[in-house]
Amino acid sequence: MVVFDDGFNGYRDVLLRLAYTDDLVQRAVCVCSAFYLGLRNPALYEIAEKGRSAIITALSDQMMSKRPGDANVFNMSTAATVLLLLVGETVTGSDEFSPLYMMLAALAQSSDTFDGATMTSRRFFQQQIKM
């Protein structure tokens, strides 16, 4: 996911580590990968589109139906998922960029999103959000 891969690579060192333990992030990594591979294999591209839609729907439903006692969706897992889907948008150029960007902006403004994150992870996300 980066042109030069030496030293620190936030996609490898932060996102892939998170994907190892978090199902939602893992699904987003797979969707992003399928978009890239789908450039040569249209069947994978279609699967990626369905996966992206399912993730966006689930995240939107969670964010909109926030009730007391519900799991907090303003967390690093959600931010990582949305960031990965935005990376996938660099391949697709679809209309999903705007809603994903608005989700990431809301996540960036919440004080809960990066609770418990390491300073390295926080810096990586801050840099990516600025980009």
Dist. CA 74–CA 105, nearest whole Å: 11
Query: Residue 2: what pLDDT?
Result: 54
Q: Determine the average pLDDT of the residues in 4-27.
A: 87
Span 86-121, pLDDT tens digits? 988 887 888 888 888 888 988 898 888 998 899 999
Q: Given pLDDT bands bounded at 50, 70 and 90, which one contains residue 131?
A: confident
Over the stretch 62-75, which tens digit does the pLDDT of each residue have?
777 765 555 578 89
Give ∠ CA 54-17-73 in degrees, rounded to 5. 45
